[in-house]
Amino acid sequence: MLEIQNITKSYPGPRGVVRALDGISLRVGPGEFVAVRGPSGSGKTTLLLVAGGMLHPDEGRVLAAGHDVYRLPSEARSRLRARAIGFVFQQFHLIPYLTVFENILAPVLAQPNSGARMRAQDLIARLGLEQRRDHRPSELSSGERQRCALARALLHKPGFVLADEPTGNLDDHNGAIVLDFLSEYAASGRALLLVTHEARAAERAHRVVQLEAVVRTP
């Protein structure tokens, strides 16, 4: 379960302080698919990074897998991410010199897992990437890249998945594959927090959270 409590996060900007998140609270339970929507710059990605233990909030706390995430030391937080959280990004962030198979296995670098290769093989098959197993990202289509990134995020069977516009760069067909897969994964008892501005993605969610535009203070 993922719980965000009263989170505030500001950035210094060229025209004053940007308050990206202002007292946000959110709870995503096991098997729940929550979509976060909002205009560009409303703090959707910031919320995801805070929820994933990568961006320290100014105020509030994040509870994940029984831990108060930002009370953990940095190393422990890294281990928590490796063990319990899966990330899917709009830009895929595949490692350019690794094959599809190796990219999917990348989390093993942080969290060794004896069954990882079997699991990766299984995900490749389920996501229709068998023919691309030994290809590099530059040789893949956008849809294939995102499926590869999705497989990587789910390799360790994380308790919750944070997806940032996972279908933003995909056509309808590939977008549907990714959303189906994520919905199916959430339905297996994991939490899914998905940031999107697309209606088709939000429609699949159990709940939709709407973020408003950021506040600038001089």
Residues binding other proteins (CB under 8 A): 45-46, 49, 52, 54-55, 74-75, 78-83, 87, 89-91, 93, 95-98, 102, 105-111, 116, 152, 164-165
User: CB-wise, 166 or 175, nearer to other proteins?
Assistant: 166
Structure tokens at 35: 């979509």
User: CB-wise, 29 or 197, nearer to other proteins?
Assistant: 197
Sign of CA dihedral 47, 48, 53, 55: negative
Q: Which are the contacts of 48, defined by CB distance < 8 A and separation ≥ 6? A: 36, 162, 164, 193, 195
User: CB-wise, 46 or 174, nearer to other proteins?
Assistant: 46
Smallest gap from Cβ 55 to other proteins, in A, equals: 4
Structure tokens at 135: 């290809």
User: CB-wise, 113 or 206, nearer to other proteins?
Assistant: 113
CA distances from 22 to 117, 145, 195, 200, 217 (A): 42, 34, 17, 27, 12
Which H or E run includes 183? helix 172-187
Smallest gap from Cβ 54 to other proteins, in A, equals: 4
User: CB-wise, 26 or 98, nearer to other proteins?
Assistant: 98
d(CA 18, CA 213): 11
User: CB-wise, 88 or 182, nearer to other proteins?
Assistant: 88
d(CA 45, CA 151): 21
Structure tokens at 65: 């897998």
Which string of DSSP letters, residue by residue, matches 94-143?
Answer: --TTS-HHHHHTGGGGTS--TTHHHHHHHHHHHTT-GGGTT--GGGS-HH
